[in-house]
Structure 1
Amino acid sequence: MPIQWRKSSGTLTFLDPTRNWEPTARVTEIRHDPLTGLRARILDYPAHFPPPPDFRPAAEESAGWCPFCPERVTTVTPRFLAAVTGEGRLVRGPAILFPNLFPYDENSAVGVFSGDHYMPLNAITAGWVQPGLELAQDYARVLAQAYPGRTRHFTFNWNFLPTAGASLVHPHFQIIAGEEPTNRHADLLEASRGYYREHGRVFWEELAEEERAAGERWLGETGPVAWVAAFAPQGLLEVWGITDSGRYEELSAAALGGLADGISRLASAFAEEGYSGFNLTIFSGVTEEDRRSFRVQLRMVPRLLLSAAGTSDMNYFHTLHGEAITMLRPEEVAARLRPRFSPAPAEGGPA
Structure 2
Amino acid sequence: MLFRREVREARFLSPLQGFAPVVQRVEFRRDPLTGRWSRINLERARRVRQAVGGHPSGLLEESRRGCFFCPENLDRSTPKLPPEFGEERMRRGEAVLFPNLFPFAEFHAVVVLSREHLLPLREFHPGRLGEAVGLSLEYFRRVRGLDPSVGYGMLNWNHLPPAAASIVHPHFQLLMDRTPTFWLEETLRAGRDYRRRRGRNFWLELLREERERGERWIGEGEEVCWLAPFAPQGQNEVWAVFREASCFGEVGEEGVRELAEGLSRVLRGYEELGVETFNLTSFSGPEDGSGRRYHRLSLRVISRPSLRPLYTSDSGFMERFQYEPVVETLPEELAGKLRRVFGG
Aligned pair in 2 of structure 1 residues 179, 155: CA closer, same or farther (>3 Å)?
A: same
Aligned position for 2:74: 73
Q: Contact 1:305/1:313 (CA < 8 Å) preserved in 2?
A: no
Displacement of 1:308 in angstroms is: 7.5
With 18-27 and 133-142 compared, the bigger mean Cα shift is at: 18-27
Displacement of 1:180 in angstroms is: 3.0
Distance 2:150 2:308 in 1: 43
Whichever residue aligns with residue 321 of structure 1, its letter is Q
Aligned position for 2:220: 221
Whichever residue aligns with residue 219 of structure 1, its letter is I
Q: Contact 1:52/1:305 (CA < 8 Å) preserved in 2?
A: no
Aligned position for 1:40: 38
Distance 1:307 1:107 in 2: 34
Aligned position for 1:115: 115
Aligned pair in 2 of structure 1 residues 55, 188: CA closer, same or farther (>3 Å)?
A: farther
Q: Contact 1:222/1:261 (CA < 8 Å) preserved in 2?
A: no
Q: Contact 2:55/2:308 (CA < 8 Å) preserved in 1?
A: no
Aligned position for 2:208: 209
Q: Which secondary structure state, in structure 1, belongs to the residue aligned with residue 39 of structure 2?
A: strand
Q: Which secondary structure state, in structure 2, belongs to the residue aligned with residue 336 of structure 1?
A: helix
Aligned position for 2:289: 288
Displacement of 1:224 in angstroms is: 1.4
Aligned position for 1:151: 150
Distance 2:169 2:309 in 1: 24
Unpaired runs of at least 5, structure 1: 344-351
Q: How does 1:306-325 map to 2 (within 5 A)?
A: 309-325=310-326
Aligned pair in 2 of structure 1 residues 55, 203: CA closer, same or farther (>3 Å)?
A: farther
Aligned pair in 2 of structure 1 residues 309, 70: CA closer, same or farther (>3 Å)?
A: closer
Q: Contact 1:42/1:327 (CA < 8 Å) preserved in 2?
A: yes
- Scaled by the length of structure 1, what TM-score is found? 0.91
Q: Contact 2:277/2:307 (CA < 8 Å) preserved in 1?
A: no
Displacement of 1:65 in angstroms is: 0.7
Displacement of 1:206 in angstroms is: 1.0
Calculate percent identity across the aligned residue pairs.
Answer: 39
Q: Which secondary structure state, in structure 2, belongs to the residue aligned with residue 258 of structure 1?
A: helix
Q: Contact 1:58/1:169 (CA < 8 Å) preserved in 2?
A: no
Aligned position for 1:257: 257
Whichever residue aligns with residue 297 of structure 1, its letter is S
What does the per-residue CA deviation read over 1:45-78, in whole Å, with 9 as the maximum and x for residues that have no partner?
A: 1524999964542342122311111122122211
What does the per-residue CA deviation read over 1:180-204, in whole Å, with 9 as the maximum and x for residues that have no partner?
A: 3222211112212222233222111
The alignment yields a C-alpha RMSD, in angstroms, of: 2.0
Aligned pair in 2 of structure 1 residues 54, 21: CA closer, same or farther (>3 Å)?
A: closer
With 5-14 and 203-212 compared, the bigger mean Cα shift is at: 5-14
Whichever residue aligns with residue 16 of structure 2, its letter is T
Distance 1:220 1:295 in 2: 17
Whichever residue aligns with residue 33 of structure 1, its letter is D
Q: How does 1:236-255 map to 2 (within 5 A)?
A: 236-243=235-242, 244-255=244-255
Q: Which secondary structure state, in structure 2, belongs to the residue aligned with residue 29 of structure 1?
A: strand
Q: Contact 2:56/2:308 (CA < 8 Å) preserved in 1?
A: no
Distance 1:308 1:18 in 2: 27
Q: Contact 2:276/2:307 (CA < 8 Å) preserved in 1?
A: no
Whichever residue aligns with residue 311 of structure 1, its letter is T
Q: Contact 1:306/1:313 (CA < 8 Å) preserved in 2?
A: no
Distance 1:53 1:151 in 2: 46
Displacement of 1:151 in angstroms is: 3.5
With 215-224 and 29-38 compared, the bigger mean Cα shift is at: 215-224
Aligned pair in 2 of structure 1 residues 99, 53: CA closer, same or farther (>3 Å)?
A: farther
Distance 1:27 1:216 in 2: 20
Displacement of 1:225 in angstroms is: 0.7
Distance 2:54 2:124 in 1: 18
Q: How does 1:22-33 map to 2 (within 5 A)?
A: 22-33=20-31
Q: Contact 1:109/1:176 (CA < 8 Å) preserved in 2?
A: yes
Unpaired runs of at least 5, structure 2: none
Aligned position for 2:339: 338
Q: Contact 2:229/2:331 (CA < 8 Å) preserved in 1?
A: yes
- Aligned pair count? 339
Whichever residue aligns with residue 221 of structure 1, its letter is E
Aligned pair in 2 of structure 1 residues 218, 53: CA closer, same or farther (>3 Å)?
A: farther
Aligned position for 1:10: 8
What does the per-residue CA deviation read over 1:2-52, in whole Å, with 9 as the maximum and x for residues that have no partner?
A: x11111122121122333332211121110111111111001415249999
What does the per-residue CA deviation read over 1:197-236, in whole Å, with 9 as the maximum and x for residues that have no partner?
A: 3322211111111101001100111341111101011112
Aligned position for 1:302: 303
Q: Contact 1:138/1:249 (CA < 8 Å) preserved in 2?
A: no
Distance 1:278 1:223 in 2: 26
